[in-house]
Structure 1
Amino acid sequence: MQVYRLAVLSDNYIFVLHDTQKNIAAAIDPAEAEPVLRQLEATGAELVALFNTHHHHDHVGGNRRLMERFPNLRIYGGAEDFGRIPGQNVFLREGDRVSFASSVGEVFFVPGHTRAHIAYYFHPNAPDEPGDLFCGDTLFAGGCGRLFEGSPSQMVSSLGKLRSLPDNTRVWCAHEYTLKNLQFALTVDGNNPDLQARYAQVKESRRRDEATIPSILGIEKRTNPFLRWDNPDLQAAVKSQSAVQTFARLRGMKDNF
């Protein structure tokens, strides 16, 4: 399975999965249709599926145009998003499985950013290969999504599910927010040498206009404060001993950063 990363809008990413053997494709969170259509033209692949993580327009804005071009599309989304994702005809819940190419994707219900958000984890096909996590706006490189429809306790639970995946998992999040996320992280975890090194690397990558996605989950576990709510140094930084309260205070600080 080949993954193409398409930069769209001001800072969004669409991901196009390509089954090179069958020459079919799937798009994840198609904010716009035209970039997907151009990618399909480049490969000659037929689009067969849309995998949506949640209903926000910058994730589903291309659905209707792609449906017009490919009327037999399977359009996936969370069951709780019924009526909010254009064209949705597959309604997924925690633990459901989806498949594309030779890969099997596990569905995680990860409310917090929205009440219905889901993520897709495509398991590796061999022990030495990484899995691929498409997490929308739940987990970002160096950060996490704002809480529009969910609570801090929901988001801690959701991020905990993603944190439990293998360290070599590739994290394909839907926005290029990494540099600003790490700038915030340094204000609460500035003595973390892994974070310091990552910030320097990302700063240089962005200076060269290079994408920072995908990230690697093991790096997130060491440097992303929103996966480290149980770290004593971070708890001390926000004056909390509760995981949920620590997360809530971090999220509130980031909202005002």
Structure 2
Amino acid sequence: MKKLKDYYDRFKSLNPQYSGIKLGIIVAVIVYFIARIFFVVEISRDMIISLVVFVISMTFHEVAHGYVAYKFGDNTAKMNGRITLNPLRHIDLTGILLPILILLSGFKFLVGWAKPVPVNFDNLRPHRLGLFCVAIAGITVNFIIAAVSLLLLKYLGKYLDIENIFMTVLLYTYLINLLLGMFNLIPITPLDGGRIIYSFSGKRVRKFYDKIEKYGILIIFAIVYFGSRILMNGFIVIVEFLLKLAGINFNLMF
């Protein structure tokens, strides 16, 4: 009980506005996927690979935010030991539990998160440039990893079959990092897309984002729930286009 209370206190500190409602929705989503698991339970090699790649990719994403913030004058992440590639320092209980349940329940569209890297935006100098660079850092790293994975797939595809485990790891690294980068571009705070717009916007837009941020997680869940098919179809089109552009013939089956 003490651990649950500690977790709720931490969640409440990160989500001071409507924390009970937000946590209730997350719990409801988790219960929903647990219920689905009783009907679809199949732990495969690909499932394990995708989860490991997801955790590592999220780690790189968060470290990028903290490192760039440090370079722009804010050492909050460094002081909290968050500029490290140790995944255990970044894993959030709910954020990692949800993608596990999603995978086990048969869904292909992963949703999850790491513990946000603490950044004191007031310390960033120059301020607006710092805001922009910190916001875009995680997405940039994910896109770079995706691009490197795609190039390796193209090169190694001449020598290895697509079913080779190394090729499978590269394929999931490409897919998941591209997905993370694209998903985080959604212009809703606390996603990076919202932070990017906030960084170069005027007072009116900033006030708007300040008002909606407390509802951000609810809006994101609504987008995923009601628009998952549209998001996934758009994602598949982009992924397959880039694969073909790189000369890789592979059709995604979702």
Greater strand content: 1
Superposed pair shares fold, TM > 0.5: no
Which protein has greater RCO, CA pairs closer than 8 Å, 6+ apart? 2
Greater radius of gyration (CA) = 2
Scaled by the length of structure 2, the TM-score of the pair is 0.30
